[in-house]
Chains A and B, each alone.
Chain A
Amino acid sequence: MIHSVDTILSLVLLSTLFSLGSSRLPGLIKVIAFQGVVVSIVPLFIGHVISAGAIVFTLATLIIRGVVIPLCIYLAIKKVAIRREVEPIVGYHASLLAGLALIVAAAFAGRYFDAPTLSDSALLLPTAITVLVGGMFLLIARRNAIAMVLGYIMMENGIYLVGTTFSARAQHIVEFGILLDVLAGVMIMAVILQNIKQTFDDVDTALLRTLKE
């Protein structure tokens, strides 16, 4: 059975693959922004009753995840005009292959969990796992500090997907708190990025290895 939400979720899966394959920072930011937009409208297509509060909250999520956070990062890199490569530790083709393997593994893993709210969508759990682990992969496999922040944002997208779709219990005010924390976190990271650039003249995290033991 193909559920309408599965169509949207497949877009999320695609965006994950794109993010693993993109070599330029502006491109990567656009992919993450797209993913943020898609992820934040998923709750509208899951069987919950749509209330006015839910729509307002979805809009707020969409604006923060899809516009404000990517813009924050974009302004950070624009201001410091750094080299716009993501400096991979694992190459792009290998990353893409890992992403595909990840989707397959997530699809297999998803079948072993029995979550009652999942029955109407086949892709929900695999997508959530893929985005989460894909974000972590980006975090580990790129040396560029900005790409690492983007990986963190992707991870948060994955957790959001798990959160809103699995459980209808969380109140909007609480979810808004999470969103605010993520936003503030990204803003602080952006400030640190600018300082890293000013101090080291680069955002390669290989430079950040003086403190040891």
Chain B
Amino acid sequence: MVELAFLIPLITGIAAFFLSRQHGRILLMATGAAHLLVSALLWLNRPTALFSAYFAVTPEGLLSLLVISLLFFLISIYTTAYLEAADIQRERMFTGSMLLFLATMTMVTLSDHIIVMWIAIEATTLASAPLIYTHRSAAALEATWKYVLICSVGIAMALLGSVLITVSMDVGQVDAAVSFSALTAVARQLDPSWLKAGFIFILVGYGTKMGLAPMHTWLPDAHSEAPSPASALLSGVLLNCAYLGIFKTNKIMVAAGLEDFSGIILIVFGLISIMAAATYILKQTEYKRLLAYSSIENMGIIAFGTGVGGLGAYGAMICLIHHSLIKSSLFLTSGNILLGCGSRLIADTGNLIKRMPKTFVALFGGFTGISGFPPLGIFIGELFIIMAAFRAGRYVGAAFFLLSLGVIFAGFANHIMKISFAGSADVAPAPENACMIWPQYVLLLTSVILCFWMPDSLYDTIMQAVTVSGGGF
């Protein structure tokens, strides 16, 4: 049952390589729907896995899985329309890789064994590499090369970190399964110095994949060169998957009483990422790169929140969910702009409100959400994180955090205003396909609804996920 969640897209993904265009598109949507169904069932029943040594249904995994499922289903609807409009060569490769990508990401959310987690995260890199190379240009090639090499080397560090954690079991003479859940239970017996070394390597490794500065260099390239549905997946859910690896390792650290050590490292990496994003966002000339840097910012915020702990860990989870929903919608919208304006440069767009009014609504709605307008989700998450930082006495960190957020808001707003309102007044309206508008609206609406009404089971699951790492109120 649990394993079905990744076996379905795995099988359909392989099948998609042999199907015709039309069948491939139908298969993509059907798999998205089936996956959503399986995820919902997992959410309701929370069964144990068949191979329980390797896989488990955990609260944090379930949260990510549900987000992945919902996003993929909506993105698959968008993709069918996008593929029609964008004229992508080797479409089978694209649909097949999308499905394999879904399978590997699902495997990340469900894996409990430390090494299986690593295998799954490395597999996401491999499955998504063909997606970035879809356009087959020199720039796309460079982005793919950077992505595969930097992420593979980075993730190799995480493998070393995982091995060092098993060494900490040997040194501490612990006899337990090599899984996150088992290790969290016996964390106090693990050898602290090897555990610390393992955590650092895992943070650097998965941090590379998550887009934490200064290991983020692949991210803007990959996100801007990939076709928009793929960028939406990369930014919306792939980064979460990498974060999941860090989150679970941090849980072991907290259980071992080393939360001060792991916390300060997470805070420093988080702040560097936010500040790096603030520096680069101001002078961006391409809107997809702008969104990519905003993802780096949000990953920084999430790392910062996790490092602060307490209320901050809860805030980080809120930010994680809302960032996925809003940022994927923004990347899908960027696809519409690209099709309408035919250029990735901000300077070539303009007057979107006249040119593509429906797309404008999605863009502007996404912008208000992602930049943290009260009372939307990201605002609530950031507020919790700042409160937690003050409670923990991290005033300097909080000051840098607030300053960078201010700069990012100013830079982001400036670019969005240019895209939306600047430029000549008399532009012909471009056609807008309903299938390429509604997925964004649904994503944004979900985010808005979650701000005002959060189902009890969702709240409980978030609390279960963060209480072990000292989260909650």
Enumerate chain A interface residues (CB-CB to B < 8 A): 114-117, 132, 136, 139, 145, 148-149, 152, 155-156, 159, 162-163, 166-167, 169-170, 174-175, 177-178, 180-181, 184-185, 188-189, 192, 195-196, 199-200, 205, 208-211, 213
Contact = CB atoms under 8 A, between A and B. Distances in A.
Contacts of B284: 213
B145 A208 contact: yes
B239 to A, nearest CB: 19
Contact of B142 (A116, A169, A174, A210): A210
B149 interface: yes
B443 interface: no
Nearest to A136: B153
A175 B159 CA distance: 11
Given A188-B129, A210-B139, 4 more contacts: A116-B170, A185-B152, A189-B148, A192-B129
B163 A159 contact: yes
A196 B141 CA distance: 7
Contacts of A195: 133, 141
Interface stretch (B115-123, B243-251, B376-384): B115-123
User: Closest 8 A-B residue pairs measured CB to CB?
Assistant: A167-B166, A177-B119, A211-B221, A181-B122, A208-B142, A163-B163, A174-B115, A166-B167
15 contacts: A115-B170, A145-B145, A148-B149, A156-B156, A167-B163, A174-B115, A174-B119, A177-B115, A181-B123, A188-B126, A188-B148, A192-B144, A196-B145, A211-B225, A213-B280
Given A159-B160, A167-B170, A152 B139 contact: no
Interface string B118-136: 1100110110010001000
A152 B113 CA distance: 25
Contact of B160 (A132, A185, A205, A210): A132
Contacts of B289: 213
B296 to A, nearest CB: 12
Contact of A178 (B143, B159, B167): B159
B195 to A, nearest CB: 13
Contacts of B141: 192, 195-196, 199, 208
> Which of B133, B160, B225 has the largest number of chain A CB atoms within 10 A?
B160
Contacts of B144: 192
Interface residues of B, number: 43
B88 interface: no
Nearest to B137: A199
A8 B115 CA distance: 27
Contacts of B291: none
Nearest to B136: A195
Nearest to A179: B119
Given A159-B156, A181-B119, A210 B170 contact: no
B138 interface: yes
A196 B137 CA distance: 10
B223 to A, nearest CB: 11
A132 B220 CA distance: 28
Contacts of A139: 153
Given A115-B171, A132-B160, A169-B169, A152 B142 contact: no
B156 A208 contact: no
Interface string B300-341: 000000000000000000000000000000000000000000
A169 B178 contact: yes
Interface string B164-175: 101101110000
A185 B170 contact: no
A189 B143 CA distance: 13
Nearest to B115: A174
B115 A155 contact: no
B394 interface: no
Nearest to A208: B142
B129 A159 contact: no
Nearest to A163: B163
Contacts of B142: 208-211
B358 interface: no
B83 to A, nearest CB: 22
A152 B163 contact: no
A205 B148 CA distance: 14
B283 interface: yes
B153 A155 contact: yes
A156 B153 CA distance: 9
A169 B145 contact: no
B21 interface: no
Contact of A152 (B126, B149, B169, B170): B149
Interface in B266-309: 280, 283-284, 289
A178 B153 contact: no
A208 B137 CA distance: 12
Given A115-B171, A152-B153, A155-B156, A170 B119 contact: no
